[in-house]
Amino acid sequence: MSHADFTPFQVEQFLSELEHGVVFNFSESGVHPMSLQGLVDLAGIDTAVLMQTMLDYPQVNGKQSLRDTIAGFYPGATADAVMITVGATEANTLVTNTLLRPGDNVVCFRPTYAQISGNAQNRGNEVRWVNLIESNGWALDQDALNNAVDDKTRIIHVVNPNNPTGQVISDQDRAAIIAAAARAGAWIVTDEVYAGTEREGDAETPSFWGSYDKVLIVNSMSKAYGLPGLRLGWLVGPEDIITQSWRRHEYASIATSMLSMELADIALAEPTRSKLKARARQLIRTGFDVLTEELDRHPGVYDVVPPQASAMSFVRFDLPVSSEDLAARLLQEKDILVIPGSRFGVEGHLRFSSALPEDHLRKGLALLNEVTADILARS
Ligand SMILES: Cc1ncc(COP(=O)(O)O)c(C=O)c1O
């Protein structure tokens, strides 16, 4: 493959080039992160014990007790079905590289977090896009799914709850995905990093684990637990695939850090795990209410299918400007960062994150409303 064929990770490139130093960062996908002190207080950590952590190479596939705990989240799984990775990001890359062979295709939904698709394209594999339908609550176009999947389909990639829409896959769409995968003998790779961030109730989004034999689950500490700086994720699946991914993990990173494994082990133990998820949900619920209240100040301009989960809202706007130009204007004039819908392949939208301290959120949204008023006055 020549250099020119390389597909950058559009969303992450946008964030990594722009997010540092911005005043109103409404582009994050998780909740406002916790400090180490916050975690120490919440979990009642004995810092003297924590200070004894050896800054050594950890067990490469992940600390045993951490893998035991995570295996407990997936009925029937043992610690050997779990590998600890550097965030969900590494898990996504390992799983793509482990599963894909030349000539395989990958089926992805649009809009979504386009990491597996980008990895697949960069390996020279075909990516087939299936649209999610906004007017139908971002439900799946099942006919398009059935047309896209064939006997060369190796992976159907599911992000549930989804980024950027925050929607949870319905039972009917879930059944259609499983039926399509079974027909083709494809793997379902499910990124479940937003499970636990439900906005409307406390019932957690059910995992795809156990619903089909060829399922691989990706998850991490970054979203529902508010600890993205740990850079710790996991991959769960059949042991042979986990072992093959482990061989790739040795090339990619060797392991995440010892300290991250210690802290994740503490964070995932009850009652800390439930407390962290409760914190995330509280931030998400308040933040969404503030967001919609502020966006409603210009009736008919902004509209959103309310996200069922996650800190994100994929907001449609009716303004005579492209999503890239609107995002650029907000950044230049008001120091507000939001992600243009074009980065997800969907024009006329902005992705907002609103699980932030309320005062800060309101200040930034008031500035956004000034830009909105100016565009409306000139059009
Ligand atoms: C769906 C999805 N998967 C994975 C990631 C990356 O997660 P991590 O911080 O665990 O690498 C993100 C981050 O935005 C995401 O939205």
Domain ranges for the chain, please list them.
3-36+273-369, 56-269
- Write the pLDDT tens digit of every residue in 132-143: 999 999 999 999
Exposure string over 268-283, b if 16+ CB within 10 A, otherwise e? beeebbeebbebbbeb
In this prediction, residue 299 has a pLDDT band, given cuts at 50, 70 and 90, of very high
Is the shortest distance between the CB of 228 and ligand 1 below 6 Å? yes
Which residue type sits at 291? L
Of 303, 311, 262, 264, the C-alpha closest to 286 is 311
Instruction: Take atom 13 of ligand 1 and give the residue whose Cα is closest.
Output: 29
- For residue 262, report the distance from its CA to the centre of ligand 1, in Å: 21
Token look-up 């390992």 returns: 94
- Tokens, residue 123: 């390996």
- Write the pLDDT tens digit of every residue in 15-38: 999 999 999 999 999 998 999 999
- For residue 93, report the distance from its CA to the centre of ligand 1, in Å: 11
CB within 8 A of 359, min separation 6: which ones? Answer: none
d(Cα 281, Cα 234) in Å, to the nearest integer? 22
Chain centre to alpha carbon of residue 121: 19
Is the shortest distance between the CB of 166 and ligand 1 below 6 Å? no
Which residue type sits at 225? Y
- Which three-class secondary structure state does DSSP give residue 193? coil
d(Cα 233, Cα 217) in Å, to the nearest integer? 11
Instruction: Please name every residue paired with 82 in a beta bridge, in sequence order, or none if there are none.
Output: 236
Q: Which CATH class is domain 56-269?
A: alpha beta
Residue 220 CA: which ligand 1 atom is closest? Answer: 10
d(Cα 13, Cα 207) in Å, to the nearest integer? 29
**φ/ψ (deg, to 5) at 332:** -65, -45
- For residue 89, report the distance from its CA to the centre of ligand 1, in Å: 6
d(Cα 30, Cα 224) in Å, to the nearest integer? 7
d(Cα 229, Cα 227) in Å, to the nearest integer? 5
Calculate mean pLDDT across residues 278-282.
96
Is the shortest distance between the CB of 87 and ligand 1 below 6 Å? yes
Is the shortest distance between the CB of 233 and ligand 1 below 6 Å? yes
Number of residues that this document lists for the chain:
379
Cα distance between the two ends of the chain: 46
Residue 1 has pLDDT above 50, yes or no: no
- Write the pLDDT tens digit of every residue in 168-183: 999 999 999 999 999 9
Is the shortest distance between the CB of 88 and ligand 1 below 6 Å? yes
CATH superfamily entry for domain 3-36+273-369? Aspartate Aminotransferase, domain 1 (3.90.1150.10)
pLDDT of residue 379: 87
pLDDT > 70: what percent of the chain? 99
- Supply the mean pLDDT for the chain: 96
Residue 239 has pLDDT above 90, yes or no: yes
- For residue 365, report the distance from its CA to the centre of ligand 1, in Å: 25
Secondary structure element (H or E) that encloses residue 158, with its range: strand 153-159
Is residue 355 within 8 A of residue 311, CB to CB? The reply is: yes
Residue 99 has pLDDT above 80, yes or no: yes
d(Cα 214, Cα 178) in Å, to the nearest integer? 10
Calculate mean pLDDT across residues 320-326.
97
Instruction: Please name every residue paired with 126 in a beta bridge, in sequence order, or none if there are none.
Output: 105
Is the shortest distance between the CB of 187 and ligand 1 below 6 Å? no
CB within 8 A of 97, min separation 6: which ones? Answer: 119, 123, 248
Calculate mean pLDDT across residues 352-375.
96
Residue 252 has pLDDT above 50, yes or no: yes
Calculate mean pLDDT across residues 334-349.
97
pLDDT of residue 64: 98
